[in-house]
Amino acid sequence: MAEAFRQVIIDRGRVAAALPGYKIGAQLGAGGFGLVVVGRHKRLRRDVAIKVIPAEAAMVGGEFTSEAEMLASLDHPHIVRVHDYLEADGLGLIVMELLGGGTLTSRWRDLSQPEICAVGLAIAAGLAHAHERGILHRDIKMANVLFDTAGMAKLGDFGIARMFTGSGVTGAPHGAGTPLYMAPEQIAGGRLSPATDLYALGVVLYQLLTGAPPFDPTLSPPQLWHQHLTSPPPPVHGVPRRVTDVVLRTLAKDPADRYPDADSFAAALAAAAVAVYGPAWLADTGLPLQLTDPVRHVAVPSLPTIPPRTTGSSARPRRATADALLATPATTGTGAAGGLPPGTRRRRGALRSRRGKLLLVAAALVVTAASLLVVLLRGGQATGPLAATLIGHNGSVSSVAFSSDGVLLATASDDHTARLWDTSSRGSVDRPLATLTGHGDWVNAATFSPDGRLLATASDDHTARLWDTSSRGSVDRPLAVLIGHTDLVYDAAFSPDGRLLATASYDGTALLWDTSRRGSIAQPLATFAGHTDWVDNVAFSPDGGLLATASYDGTVQLWTTSSRGNVTRPLTTLTGHSDGIYDVAFSPDGRLLATTDGTGSTRLWDTSSRGTVDRAPAILLGYGDWILDVTFSPDGRLLATASDGGNAQLWSASSRGALDRPLATLTGHTGAVNSVMFSPDGRLLATGDNSNARLWSTSSRGSVDQPLATLTGPTETPDDAVSGSHRSVAFSPDGRLLATATGVDGTARLWYVDAVD
């Protein structure tokens, strides 16, 4: 076998000949079953890891194909993804996801106890997925836990995995596995089951928590096996008892004394972590996780109470609260080893959905005059009607958008994909027109060009992509991959003429792109690099001449879109906010710019002089710490704001000076109002919280606690729960349909309200 490995290392031409579509790069490592090299797909420009298994080590005949098919069937965020496999010239080749964040072996000493528990949940989630498909890993160890650049832990190297049925599969005595991590039944040739993998996971967690494995790694394999079979783990010191008890149960000698499955273990570990480290423990780690609903509900037991209003420097620590609100089912962030600035892990979870900023964006709807009559006849309560439920995403749906003709709906998801749907679909729809793949991380936003021919997606994988909206089926090749950012891309916006695309990134820049270019584009038309913290949102002026960038550094900057190259000095910088900027919007005529922050204030700036702001802005003092959303009415006369204090407010867009009395305060929501939207004719305002949307007349004045209508989904969700919460809404261009994206169940919904006799 060693000779075969030497031949593979020397004769790289064999690997290149077997994979003509890839450029073969450096060797990443070698082990007992093969070696791994870097590859790059020549057309997709996608970097991959290629596992090369010589014939002597590969399974004979169809066994390699069966094994590879088994691995390729594992599609889970916490398992290294297999893209392709083949046999050629005496080699077995498996093309896998390439991860740039290192292994647990290289990172474990920097992990805190809560972070260790979070990694344990990630591994357990991957194991649960594999076990549900009858696959045992059989070689869980630190070297087989890898991280992507965002800090997400993934279980890799299923090279000795085996299928099991019923109560398990029989292993050979002293069979395949790593002696330090082998369960007693694995050593003795007993029945293997999911509990076998949990034992190895217990060894990993014991070592992470205590700094040393439970058994002596300096011993010979026979001596190690004897310890596994007969010796209890040494007592644990410096680790809370509840956490220790969970880990030690996985190390029971008898499989029947361990947890019955990975989800049971994960729920127990999550409960222990909540009890010991507090209810916000998971969000505080900043590590990306995707958990099943039962485990997530234990790990994030409830939405925390919004703390009293704070100002100044005290606002920043409250990001942990926002992170906790967003621990559904994937809590986002980055690991410290990913090359990110200190504190970025906790900040990254704060602003997930494109329109909601910090909290989950709630539902809204559009109605015509006839539709309003229906709602009023129903006494102010409506439960639908639901036109279509769009099913298929494997993660939270983060945004929805209609094409300009209303024919298509785009959805973006944490499952790394965007999808295109036919808006004429009705009922339960599980087949999108197109599934757009290729992003390596969460897709934060999807937006159509003004003519509807292009779709732009923005992703945590540091890229934005342009897609042909006429695509159908599974599409992994976009028209263009925009690769100029060095951190996650949070927002994307087309210019009014569709010729430019602006992207906002946590790398502190906004980039301007030519939408006519194709292929992999590393050089933008312009780099706007004037901010000192992440750029969260971008907005073009209606004439396309200005770009506004909103940043967590507390400023909004205005740039001319004719700029080219690296630009560090904006036309103007709008200062005065005392916290990060959450939303920015131009008025329809482009003469005003609205900006919101985390201290309860909205500012209206006069931008009519093309970038030179000559007078102080109007300051609109709302309720609550966070103004989460802002929008102008279609005629530009009104401004609506959404507050975490459970209300929305209507303001005159002609306001001047400092005001604390809006035209109307719309109350009655029992949770944070995360979204406000005007109907296309401007006569109605929809507001949304976690569980319902409400309709108000825009002619309302004073304090109003009775909406025209309250609209709820098929299953109403309590305001203190996360499941079922809407994260994004969009009106169809004709105002007849409303699209909503629910944050946790992977669905989007289309709604309409019909007139009745």
- In this predicted structure, what is the pLDDT of residue 705? 85
Question: In 598-647, at which residue ranges do the beta strands (DSSP E only) sit?
Answer: 601-606, 618-621, 627-632, 638-643
C-alpha 537/C-alpha 14 separation (Å) is 48
Residue that the structure tokens 């969700």 belong to: 717
Q: Which of 424, 454, 469 is nearest to 734 (CA)?
A: 424
Q: What are phi and psi of 129, to 5 degrees?
A: -60, -45
In this prediction, residue 67 carries a pLDDT of 62
- Coil, helix or strand for 257? helix
705 is catalytic: no
pLDDT digit string, tens, across residues 613-630: 655 677 877 655 578 788
Using an 8 Å Cβ cutoff, are 730 and 400 in contact? yes
Q: Where are the domains of the chain?
A: 2-97, 104-348, 369-751
* Count of CA atoms in the C-beta half-sphere (13 A) of 669: 32
**pLDDT value at position 720?**
35
Q: What pLDDT does residue 453 have?
A: 93
Q: Tokens at residue 271, please?
A: 């409960």
State how beta strands 480-482 and 464-468 pair. Answer: antiparallel
In three-state form (DSSP H/G/I as H, E/B as E, the rest C), the secondary structure along 308-364 is: CCCCHHHHHHHHHHHHHHCCECEECCCCHHHCCCCCHHHHHCCCCCCCCCCCCCCCC
pLDDT < 50 positions in the chain: 1-10, 60-61, 165-174, 303-384, 714-727, 743, 753-757
Write out the DSSP string of 269-322. Answer: HHHHHHHHH-TTHHHHH---EE--HHHHHHHS-SPPPPPPP--GGGGGGGHHHH
Crossing angle (nearest 10°) for helices 194-210 and 262-277: 30
List of residues 6+ apart from 218 with CB closer than 8 A: none
3-state secondary structure of 180: helix
Secondary structure of residue 617 in the 3-state scheme: coil
Structure tokens of 2?
């060693």
Residues 685 and 680: their CA atoms lie apart, in Å, by 10
* CA 609/CA 320 separation, integer angstroms: 40
Question: What homologous superfamily is domain 104-348 in, according to CATH?
Answer: Transferase(Phosphotransferase) domain 1 (1.10.510.10)
Query: Distance (Å, rounded) from C-alpha 582 to C-alpha 666?
Result: 21
What does the block give as tokens for 32?
A: 């007992």
- Joined together, the tokens standing for residue 28 give 């990443």
Cβ(547)–Cβ(491) below 8 Å: no
8-state DSSP, 221: H
Q: List, edge to edge, every strand of the sheet that includes 464-468.
A: 443-448, 454-459, 464-468, 480-482, 519-521
Q: At which residue do the structure tokens 């194991």 appear?
A: 127
CATH fold of 369-751 reads: Methylamine Dehydrogenase; Chain H (2.130.10)
Biggest distance spanned by C-alpha atoms of the chain: 84
Residue 392's pLDDT is what?
Answer: 85
651: helix, strand or coil: strand
| Superfamily of the domain at 2-97 | Phosphorylase Kinase; domain 1 (3.30.200.20)
Name the DSSP letter for residue 505: E
* Beta pairing partners, 749: 389, 740
Catalytic residue among 84, 139, 660, 754: 139
Q: Find out whether 357 is annotated in a ligand binding site.
A: no
Local structure of residue 116 (DSSP, 8 states) = H
Alpha-carbon distance of 213 to 140, in angstroms, equals: 14
Contact 140, 123 (CB under 8 A): yes
Q: Measured between alpha carbons, how far is 470 from 520 in angstroms, rounded to an integer?
A: 20
- 3-class DSSP state for residue 428? strand
- What pLDDT was estimated at residue 613? 62
Q: Which amino acid is at 172?
A: A
